[in-house]
């Protein structure tokens, strides 16, 4: 039977490193790219007898993340040991939270522009919010690298504060999973909680997916996907896995709860292990750490909740009169939104400034494969350019040329560049002379204009522009023509 005859259920577990200078339970630095095993101490090496000390900043940032997605924080939150035997954590347990995590409930609103580009126009469930089960805080483990004949291990990462954000099985399609991760990433970046860069391993994602026929209440057997190191990989692996499960179910092969790994090169998922060898983590309360009373932390963090992406988008629409799409583009990246606000100090010009940024600036950045953070043009140049056009000093087309020149020489001022390119308003007498010549040379057109064919003014404007070698200001030319012909 076709895939559409199955209900797909997807849940995501996202691990996200908190941007903190020190580790979760010791004072070691979290800096990336250091000599292996240089940022370590007895605590994060898991040596016997070493005692953990809480990183209050990481706790606060987790509570903040929860506030940004409408979670609640229980009055008391506690720490637990998750026992397992693996060299990436020599004390043989991970310090985490089991039954009383820092954040419970909440949801991530899916932004239209967070969906893959080609489906943005046909989002099946626009405005959806994906429910979140919980966010808990734990320590990252060491990074092992497998070589041909041995494995090396680096403890610099061990003990990095790690948030685990668990969604409800509330996601229906691979595209929704994609949008969820993008939206979540955007929120965490807005909060300054994490850079959430999947390529750098700051954000990692495990996927659970199951299929069941329409009409069946209970969820199908869930398959977990691992080794997903980009948001696109999550989407691609889900597409493959949904097809694979549907085909097997069609063929009468029941699914068994298992873990599979995504092989990006092969474009397929491969079986790693089944439920029989699933871990029993034997969680138990951490005896070396007291539970946290959260009331004062909640009070401290509440005022620090920043404007959320969708709130900013709405404000841009209302304050600057820009449309929802452009507001979405500008707020998709916090740095871009900041750039826009720096340029749009005059709300009346906000719409025009938005146009210059979404078309001019973003096109150039794309061309050069850079981000707004590396944009050579100061935001004030955009405002000045818009002001020059608005005042009728230069035309839109001329502004485009000035923009291109400024991009190469951002140290110069827009007005000076316009002048150097000869785009300053020529003195009136020169233009009047050309206008007179053009009028004299086109008596038939002039007659038609006088008879009411206003469109021909553009034609004559073009003639004057040509005669002035593009230096005249078209608005001024049209005005002069209109004055001479129609008065």
Given the rule CB under 5 A, which residues bind Mn ion?
A: 164
Partner from Zn ion, Mn ion, none contacting 41, C-beta within 5 to 8 A by type: Zn ion
Partner from Mn ion, Zn ion, none contacting 164, C-beta within 5 to 8 A by type: Mn ion
The candidate with the shortest Cα–Cα distance to 60, out of 308, 309, 294, is 294
Cα separation, 165 vs 181, in Å, equals 11
**Shortest Cβ 136–Mn ion spacing (Å):** 8
Residue 24 in the binding site for Zn ion (CB under 5 A): no
Distances (CA, A) of 373 to 86, 197, 369, 370: 41, 16, 12, 8
Compute, in degrees rounded to 10, the torsion defined by CA atoms 424, 425, 430, 435: 130
Compute, in degrees rounded to 10, the torsion defined by CA atoms 102, 108, 113, 117: 90
Output DSSP code: residue 359. I
Nearer to Mn ion, 84 or 407 (CB): 84
**Shortest Cβ 26–Zn ion spacing (Å):** 3
Residue 184 in the binding site for Zn ion (CB under 5 A): no
- Centre a 10 Å sphere on the Cβ of residue 40 and count the other Cβ atoms it contains: 21
Q: Contact with Zn ion (CB under 5 A): which of 3, 7, 29, 41?
A: 41
Name the residue whose CB lies closest to Mn ion.
Answer: 164
Nearer to Mn ion, 14 or 361 (CB): 14
Residue 8 in the binding site for Zn ion (CB under 5 A): no
Q: Which two tokens stand for residue 293?
A: 């009373």
Nearer to Mn ion, 19 or 136 (CB): 136
Nearer to Mn ion, 60 or 164 (CB): 164
Residue 43 in the binding site for Zn ion (CB under 5 A): yes
Number of residues that bind Zn ion (CB under 5 A): 5
Partner from Zn ion, Mn ion, none contacting 298, C-beta within 5 to 8 A by type: none
Nearer to Mn ion, 273 or 279 (CB): 279
Burial of 482 (0-12, 13-18, 19+ CB in 10 A): middle
Nearer to Mn ion, 224 or 333 (CB): 224
Q: Contact with Zn ion (CB under 5 A): which of 24, 44, 58, 114?
A: 44
Return the CA Rg of the chain: 30
Residue 158 in the binding site for Zn ion (CB under 5 A): no
- The alpha carbon dihedral of 413, 416, 421, 425 has a sign of positive
Cα separation, 310 vs 297, in Å, equals 25
Residue 26 in the binding site for Zn ion (CB under 5 A): yes
Nearer to Mn ion, 164 or 384 (CB): 164
- Interacting residues toward Zn ion by CB under 5 A: 26, 28, 41, 43-44
């Amino acid at each position: 039977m076709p895939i559409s005859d199955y209900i797909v259920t997807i849940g995501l577990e996202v691990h996200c490193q908190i941007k903190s200078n020190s580790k979760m339970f010791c004072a070691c630095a979290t800096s990336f790219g250091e000599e292996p095993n240089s940022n370590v101490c007895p605590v994060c090496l898991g040596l016997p007898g070493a005692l953990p000390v809480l990183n209050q900043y990481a706790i606060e940032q987790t509570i903040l993340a929860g506030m940004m997605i409408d979670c609640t924080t229980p009055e008391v939150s506690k720490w637990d040991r998750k026992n397992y035997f693996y060299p990436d954590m020599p004390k043989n347990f991970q310090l985490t939270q089991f039954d009383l995590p820092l954040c419970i409930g909440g949801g991530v609103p899916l932004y239209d522009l967070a969906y893959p580009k080609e489906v943005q126009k046909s989002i099946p469930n626009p405005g959806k919010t994906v429910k979140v089960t919980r966010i808990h805080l734990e320590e990252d483990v060491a990074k092992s690298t497998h070589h041909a004949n041995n494995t090396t291990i680096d403890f610099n990462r061990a003990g990095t504060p790690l948030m685990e954000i668990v969604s409800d099985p509330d996601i229906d399609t691979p595209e929704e999973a994609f949008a969820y991760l993008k939206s979540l990433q955007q929120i965490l970046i807005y909060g300054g909680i994490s850079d959430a860069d999947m390529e750098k391993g700051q954000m990692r994602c495990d996927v659970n997916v199951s299929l069941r026929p329409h009409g069946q209440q209970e969820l199908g057997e869930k398959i977990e996907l691992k080794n997903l190191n980009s948001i696109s990989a999550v989407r691609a692996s889900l597409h493959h896995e949904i097809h694979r499960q549907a085909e097997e179910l069609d063929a009468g092969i029941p699914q068994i709860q298992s873990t599979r790994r995504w092989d990006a090169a092969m474009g397929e998922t491969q079986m790693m292990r089944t439920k029989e060898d699933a871990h029993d983590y034997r969680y138990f309360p951490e005896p070396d750490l007291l539970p946290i009373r959260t009331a004062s932390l909640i009070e401290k963090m509440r005022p620090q909740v920043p404007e959320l992406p969708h709130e900013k988008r709405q404000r841009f629409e209302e304050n600057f009169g820009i449309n929802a799409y452009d507001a979405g583009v500008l707020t998709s990246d916090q740095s871009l939104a900041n750039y826009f606000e720096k340029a749009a100090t005059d709300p009346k010009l906000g719409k025009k400034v938005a146009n210059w940024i979404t078309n001019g600036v973003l096109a150039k950045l794309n061309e050069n494969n850079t981000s707004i953070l590396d944009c050579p043009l100061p935001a004030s140049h955009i405002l000045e350019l818009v002001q020059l056009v608005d005042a009728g000093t230069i035309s839109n087309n001329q502004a485009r040329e000035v923009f291109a020149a400024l991009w190469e020489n951002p140290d110069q001022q827009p007005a000076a560049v316009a002048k150097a390119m000869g785009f300053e308003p020529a003195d009136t007498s020169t233009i009047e002379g050309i206008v007179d010549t053009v009028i004299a040379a086109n008596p038939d057109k002039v007659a038609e204009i006088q008879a009411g064919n206003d469109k021909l003014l553009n034609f004559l404007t073009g003639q004057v522009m040509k005669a002035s070698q593009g230096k005249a200001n078209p608005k001024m030319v049209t005005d002069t023509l209109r004055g001479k012909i129609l008065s």
